[in-house]
Amino acid sequence: MHYRETDRSKMLRERYKEDRFPCKLGIELEDVRAGYARVSMFVTPDMHNFNGVTHGGAIFTLADTAFGLASNTRGTALAMHISINYVKGTVSGDQLTAIAEEEHLTRSTGIYRMTVYRGEEKVAFLRGTVFRK
């Protein structure tokens, strides 16, 4: 089924409200449109690892949420691969924002670039590939 872009984005906003895992972490959907999504969260003490910094899994989940939203603006998409580079540590109280942007699209795949920020500072870089149904 094909959706007008505004209908697809609206539908994703509604479906996101039922996406329990990222919502439980406090990940807020800020923007979603064709090939693009922006989400954010505040780091809490429960998200720290044993070194006292934000657990890599929390940062990954934030970026993966943006990735899933951006890639599904074009129809149903399923992640095939994601790689991540962490470049800065973060701590409780930091607000993190992840932006996912489409880089390449074919009939069956899509490649996306995700960047996680603390303010203007880059915290992590990711690239992901999806299979498009």
CATH number at residue 54: 3.10.129.10
Instruction: Count how many domains the chain has.
Output: 1
DSSP helix/strand/coil, 65: helix
The predicted model scores a pTM of 0.94
3-class DSSP state of 17: coil
pLDDT of residue 3: 47
The per-residue pLDDT for range 67-86, each reduced to its tens digit, is 999 999 999 999 999 999 99
**Locus of tokens 């949420």:** 65
Cα 75 from Cα 49, distance rounded (Å): 36
Quick: pLDDT tens for 10-38: 999 999 999 999 999 999 999 999 999 99
Tens digits of residue pLDDT in 102-124 = 999 999 999 999 999 999 999 99
- Distance in angstroms (rounded) separating the CA atoms of residues 111 and 44: 31
- ∠ CA 73-67-109, nearest 5°, is 65
Domain range holding 116?
A: 5-132
